[in-house]
Amino acid sequence: MTKLNTSICDILGTRYPLIQGGMAWIAESTLASAVSNAGGLGIIAGGSAPIDYLRNEIRKCKELTDKPFGVNIMLMSDNAEDLAQLVIDEGVQVVTTGAGNPGKYIAAWKEAGVKVIPVVPSVALAKRMERSGADAVIAEGTESGGHIGENTTMCLVPQVVDALSIPVIAAGGIADGRGVAASFMLGAKGVQIGTRFLASEECVIHPTYKELVIKAKDTDSIVTGRSTGHPCRNVKTKLTKKLASNEMNGTISPDEFEKLTVGSLRKAVQDGNLEEGTFLCGSIAGMVNEVKPCKDIIEEIMAQASELLD
């Protein structure tokens, strides 16, 4: 059986080269510890949460696993600087970042011995991250859920691999062993998976959210927020269809869009509110059809990838 033990396992201190996506409002200590206990790297999402919430989740995760786990810093958050310091103070082993350039934090993280793995949507930012001392990068294609760049996983990953000496982790559109094997063929040394874990037993989102992901077909994701410069991929619902079409025909201004969507992810995750919630998901949701424990998800993915790579 092909060993999937790569340089990413050495950097993360994990059995498998697999990182769980840092999904804001979703990825907390229950999910992160389940992924870490199953041999991947669980991630707690900082999102735009208050610092006390994140500190508490980090401490809970330490109780739930003795394996390494990480924290995602969402750089558009007003309190990103405080959260960036918190991961140092709490001795978190790995930090991933999203929605911006984490350059100004990298030296302090490295000094504290934190492994730094920024999400990048382009070769240009990937090169800057390597120069700034990142340990690896996550090249995330537009198939991903949430805030996205323009390039696809298939095009982005090999170009980032060619441009960098540090290892590259592929993300966007990966939910089974075929996606992992394909990522390896593109030169990636690991994968980040988000949407598949939405339909895990340990993911503590509203049942309506899980049901939407499980029922989604291949054509059931939609991008909103293009007019604001912050495009986000969601489950297609009455609300997201209306938002996208209003943006397209100019009947909603960026300001009105922001007003309508503020707090909408929380409404999806906690309340399952179909009228006002935005249910972020990747375009691979069509392939996610069953809720399972994280351990089963990870073992099935890795066994299939290993067999294919053989």
Output the smallest distance, CB 17 to ligand TUI, in A.
19
Instruction: Please name the residue ranges forming H helices in the chain.
Output: 7-12, 29-37, 51-64, 80-89, 103-111, 123-132, 153-163, 177-185, 195-198, 207-215, 238-248, 254-261, 264-271, 294-309
Distance between CA 53 and CA 45 in Å, rounded?
Answer: 11
Nearer to ligand TUI, 4 or 99 (CB): 99
CA distances to 137, 206, 281 from 273, in Å: 34, 9, 15
Write out the two tokens for 206: 């509203």
Query: Of the listed pieces 10-18, 119-127, 200-208, 293-301, which binds ligand TUI according to CB under 6 A?
Result: 119-127
Interface with ligand TUI (CB under 6 A), residue from 7, 15, 65, 100: 100
Interface with ligand TUI (CB under 6 A), residue from 101, 132, 208, 270: 101
Residue 47, C-beta contacts closer than 8 angstroms, at least 6 positions apart: 24, 25, 72, 74, 77
Interface with ligand TUI (CB under 6 A), residue from 99, 116, 164, 203: 99
Nearer to ligand TUI, 4 or 235 (CB): 235
Output the smallest distance, CB 304 to ligand TUI, in A.
25
Interface with ligand TUI (CB under 6 A), residue from 17, 42, 46, 121: 121
Output the smallest distance, CB 254 to ligand TUI, in A.
12
Q: Taking the CA atoms of the chain, what radius of gyration do you get in angstroms?
A: 18
Query: Of the listed pieces 34-42, 93-101, 215-223, 293-301, which binds ligand TUI according to CB under 6 A?
Result: 93-101
Output the smallest distance, CB 232 to ligand TUI, in A.
5
- Where in 64-83 is the site for ligand TUI (CB under 6 A)? 74, 76
Interaction of residue 140 with ligand TUI, rule CB under 6 A: yes
Interface with ligand TUI (CB under 6 A), residue from 40, 98, 173, 177: 98
Output the smallest distance, CB 132 to ligand TUI, in A.
12
Nearer to ligand TUI, 149 or 167 (CB): 149
Nearer to ligand TUI, 80 or 181 (CB): 80
Distance between CA 10 and CA 178 in Å, rounded?
Answer: 23
Interaction of residue 119 with ligand TUI, rule CB under 6 A: yes
Nearer to ligand TUI, 17 or 47 (CB): 47
Write out the two tokens for 305: 């990838």
Nearer to ligand TUI, 93 or 142 (CB): 142
Distance between CA 195 and CA 198 in Å, rounded?
Answer: 5
φ, ψ of residue 71 to 5 degrees: the values are -130, 140
Residue 251, C-beta contacts closer than 8 angstroms, at least 6 positions apart: none
- Where in 244-283 is the site for ligand TUI (CB under 6 A)? none
Distance between CA 295 and CA 38 in Å, rounded?
Answer: 5
- Count of residues that interact with ligand TUI, criterion CB under 6 A: 17
Binding mask 147-166 for ligand TUI (x = CB under 6 A): xxx-----------------
DSSP class of residue 18 equals: E
In DSSP notation, 70-130 reads EEEEETTSTTHHHHHHHHHHTT-SEEEEESS--HHHHHHHHHTT-EEEEEESSHHHHHHHH
Footprint on this chain of ligand TUI (rule: CB under 6 A):
24, 74, 76, 98-101, 119, 121, 125, 140, 146-149, 230, 232
